Chains A and B, each alone.
Chain A
Amino acid sequence: MMKPETEDEVAGAVGAATEPLHVVGGGTRAVGRPVPGEVLNLSNLSGITLYEPEALTVVARAGTRLADLEAALSKEGQRLAFEPADWRGLLGHGGHPTVGGMVAANISGSRRVQAGACRDALLGVRFVDGTGAIVKNGGRVMKNVTGYDLVKLMAGSWGTLGVLTEVALKVLPVPAAAATLVVSVEGATAAVAAMSAALGSPHDVTGAAFVPGEGVLIRIEGFAASVEYRADKLEELLVPHGPVRIETDPVRVSAVWKRVTNVTLFAEKGGDVWRLSVRPSDAPALLAGLACEYMLDWGGGLIWALLPEGEDARARLGQFKGHATLIRASEDTRARIAPFHPEPPALAKISADLRARFDPKGILNPGLMG
């Protein structure tokens, strides 16, 4: 295993490599096709290099532990608005998630539906491409349209286009108060209808999830008086969908959204875990096709599905708009079933061409995304 401590060392390692490298941050998300090759572990390339709370920006080296970054933000009353999920429980991994790993996997949580994804908060990146060249793109300011936006391209590229060495992120203030409305509804159709009603209201909903058996969960955040006002308004709006209970205890509100974001529901259960991004109103029909245990987030736009081991969820669905990713499965299954959704041929060709140009030696997490 290589554990470089500087960007130059990363560049040296990649530049000299002739065989595949398995690029990892904290190694807490073994997703995608199993990757051969020597491990290039970024966890020693760490540290926050710049934090300006008044500019809502933070810059950190890729191997910085996410927990360290979140602690630094918390001290200033700020946070990563996209609410990065922690999949250690779900995937049964130890270790520490890193900032670079989070970006490479474009990891967001429940607040993604309102605040945008990790890629939306990503202001700039530095990375080492497959030839060993150091590349920067974007910067550390909120608005930047100088040249192409490789920042978005790097987010969610799982280390296949380059090895991230530093990232700049937009942060936001932590609101003073939060509340969860729990609406008792049965079934996905009723749940999506309730979530759409809430998200279509002017009450700035920052989370909309459905846990079968528990009900629809709607989160609002902000100043105390405003949260109270909006909770009342939303209760009025949602009562026709089912009985509503309002939770305002900060510990409980935080706990329930951690459970949703981190998919804790499936942590203790056997089987493969699939993640589908779909048009919310398509979710009920797709769930009928899946016929399995599930949970919804993002107003129904995100389906978490628990399927028997070794089965391709897409076979139960046929053609649909959106994509399905296999998040938790054995290495055997991940080698056999494409974990990332197969792209239409024209897009697959573009993606393959991009990889071939950013990584001409084909050494960066080769095959991980298919």
Chain B
Amino acid sequence: MQIPAPDPTIIARRSDIVARLRRVLPADAVIDDPTETRAYECDALAAYRCPPLAVVLPRSTDEVAAALKVCHAEGVPVVPRGSGTSLAGGALPTADSVILGIARMNRVLEVDYADRFIRVEAGRTNLSVTGAVEADGFFYAPDPSSQLACAIAGNIAMNSGGAHCLKYGVTTNNLLGVTMVTMAGEVLQIGGAHMDAGGLDLLGVVCGSEGQLGVVTEATLRILPKPEGARPVLIAFNSNEVAGACVADIIKAGVLPVAIEFMDRPCIRACEDFAKAGYPDCEALLIVEVEGAPAEIDEQLALIRQITMRHDPVEFREAASEDEAKKIWLGRKSAFGAMGQINDYMCLDGTIPVSALPHVLKRIGEMSREYGLDVANVFHAGDGNMHPLILFDANKPGDLETCEAFGAAILKLCVEVGGCLTGEHGVGIEKRDLMPDQYSPADMEAQMRVKDVFDPTWLLNPAKVFPLTVSAGRRAA
């Protein structure tokens, strides 16, 4: 992965820049001690690291604006950071950039159950948004697996999803408004507690723009009343193809589960060894969760059972109690931890049309043999969002490079069958150089025009999303 060379003139001015930041921010909001800035050298894509020039940790929208104005005037790139859980390198700094961390802005500003929204500072973690309203029977729907740690600001930047978006949608479908500061330090209010845009849908393009259009400091989020109940079933099959066909039939029959999770044999084994969830020995496992009133759950599960039986499952296990439900989810939820214990792994995030599932799984198996690296598949089958985990040994020379090449081949396959490079993690630096596989020069040009409007000097998170050669002219400008 190529990281642009830092601008030596910025690094030479480091102490002046830090001094200017200190003049507009409280003393503890500016960090330049190299041992402390090191904590911000990477995000969850930990293979790539670089300590930033400095770190600012503002406590208000005004402080964010003040910091951005200084960086704008000094021509210093700024990398916004939520909780640093990006798997795509979205918050990876360069040596000439200032990290703008939003984590100290985590207050709840307003909760309105009658109008069904919550307004929070954007550094608040995803799970604690639900935490603020669940005692009153409400929840915030998008649930990325990092939800304990990840910030709403990062969720908005990456348009994060989660396991339950088949029914509830992703961040963009649950976002009503933002307060956002542009690179020039201008504070914008986009949207609010009402629905839809009165003019162009600027909120729609801000969400998922990977921190390249502005720094979101506050968000108005839709909250939903919690359903009366939810119940998962575990369905085991002896072939990936049959499991895939079963998913298609469930959806075609008009059932809309809140989640359909799919695991293949290598993943099932690892989870079982790690979490002892009592998973059966089989080729493919589905966890299907339905929710609603008791009558609704019963009716949906009866239909799912009927459809499943036509596909000759190895096992169909309904959770009879809360404990059994937890056990069914336990293995799936510990999948990443389980794999991490065995090996280093790279987690991919391509999305494919559900109809292409059997073909893609077969091809991934073949490619695994070609590249000589094992793959475990765990993914959101209902919406086609795959998370193949490629196992490699970081200490073995060349293994990371082989793994990246294999990963790129899988993502190209996703695009080939009508899908995309990333379903919920974002492009960041990780998939940046694959963008031309999905988008033509004209497609990327149209996207970059939007950045030209919001950030004409390309100072905000500049070396992400677009291949460096494609954005070179603009970044230099």
Contacts and interface: CB of A to CB of B under 8 A. Distances in A.
Give the residue among A134, A202, A298, A354 with the most B Cβ atoms within 10 A.
A202
Give the residue among A55, A146, A153 with the most B Cβ atoms within 10 A.
A146
A226 B420 contact: no
Contacts of A192: 114
A76 B251 CA distance: 12
B195 A277 contact: yes
A197 B313 CA distance: 43
A249 interface: no
A230 B192 contact: no
Contacts of A357: 449, 452-453
A241 to B, nearest CB: 13
Nearest to A360: B449
Contacts of B451: 148
B115 A140 contact: no
Given A321-B194, A369-B200, A143 B426 contact: no
Interface residues of B, number: 95
Contacts of A204: 227, 292
B113 A145 contact: no
B449 A358 contact: yes
A267 interface: no
A68 interface: no
Contacts of A230: 293, 296
Nearest to A344: B189
Contacts of A156: 196-197, 200-201
B251 A56 contact: yes
Contacts of B227: 202, 204
Nearest to B247: A54
Contacts of A301: 115, 194-195
A321 B188 contact: no
A157 to B, nearest CB: 6
Interface in B413-428: 418-427
Contact of B209 (A108, A148, A278, A280): A148
B315 interface: no
Give the residue among A56, A76, A325 with the most B Cβ atoms within 10 A.
A56
Nearest to A322: B194
Contacts of B208: 145, 148-149
Interface string A34-77: 00000000000000000011111100000000000000000011
A52 B200 CA distance: 30
A135 B188 contact: no
A222 interface: yes
A347 B188 contact: yes
B202 A350 contact: yes
A369 B254 contact: no
Interface string B367-407: 00000000000001011110000000000000000000000
B112 interface: yes
B453 A350 contact: yes
B161 interface: yes
Nearest to B444: A147
A176 B425 CA distance: 36
Given A141-B423, A146-B421, A204-B292, A358 B194 contact: no
B254 A176 contact: yes
Contact of A139 (B173, B355, B418, B446): B418
B186 interface: yes
A110 B431 CA distance: 39
Interface stretch (A91-99, A111-119, A252-260, A329-337): A111-119
Secondary structure of the A contact surface, majority rule: mixed
Given A52-B353, A136-B443, A281 B112 contact: yes
Interface string A352-363: 011001100000
Contacts of A149: 159, 172, 204-205, 207-209
A315 interface: no
Contacts of B170: 143, 145
Contacts of A346: 186, 188
A55 B355 CA distance: 6
Interface stretch (B30-38, B44-52, B433-441): B433-441
Interface in B197-220: 197-205, 207-209
B115 A136 contact: no
Contacts of B252: 53-54, 76
A106 interface: yes
B314 interface: no
A151 B205 CA distance: 8
A8 interface: no
A278 B295 CA distance: 35
Interface residues of A, number: 92
B169 A280 contact: no
B75 interface: no
A120 B175 CA distance: 11
A52 B201 CA distance: 28
A160 B199 CA distance: 11
A290 interface: no
A145 B292 contact: no
Nearest to B300: A223
A369 B249 CA distance: 44
Contact of B201 (A112, A119, A135, A196): A119
A4 interface: no
Contacts of A88: none
A174 interface: yes
B453 A141 contact: no
Contact of A226 (B158, B159, B296): B296
A214 interface: no
B361 interface: no
B254 A55 contact: no
The 9 closest A-B CB pairs, nearest first, are A152-B204, A323-B198, A173-B254, A226-B296, A143-B423, A54-B248, A142-B383, A341-B198, A322-B194
22 contacts: A52-B355, A53-B252, A55-B251, A108-B196, A139-B419, A140-B418, A143-B351, A145-B425, A146-B420, A146-B421, A146-B427, A147-B427, A153-B205, A173-B251, A175-B254, A200-B116, A200-B138, A223-B295, A280-B115, A281-B115, A323-B197, A346-B188
Given A117-B196, A302-B195, 14 more contacts: A55-B353, A116-B173, A136-B443, A142-B423, A145-B170, A148-B209, A153-B204, A156-B197, A226-B295, A277-B194, A354-B200, A357-B452, A369-B200, A370-B199
Interface of A: 52-57, 76-77, 106, 108, 112-113, 116-117, 119-120, 129, 133-137, 139-153, 155-157, 160-161, 172-176, 192-193, 196, 199-204, 222-223, 225-226, 228-230, 233, 277-281, 298, 301-302, 321-325, 340-341, 343-344, 346-348, 350-351, 353-354, 357-358, 369-370
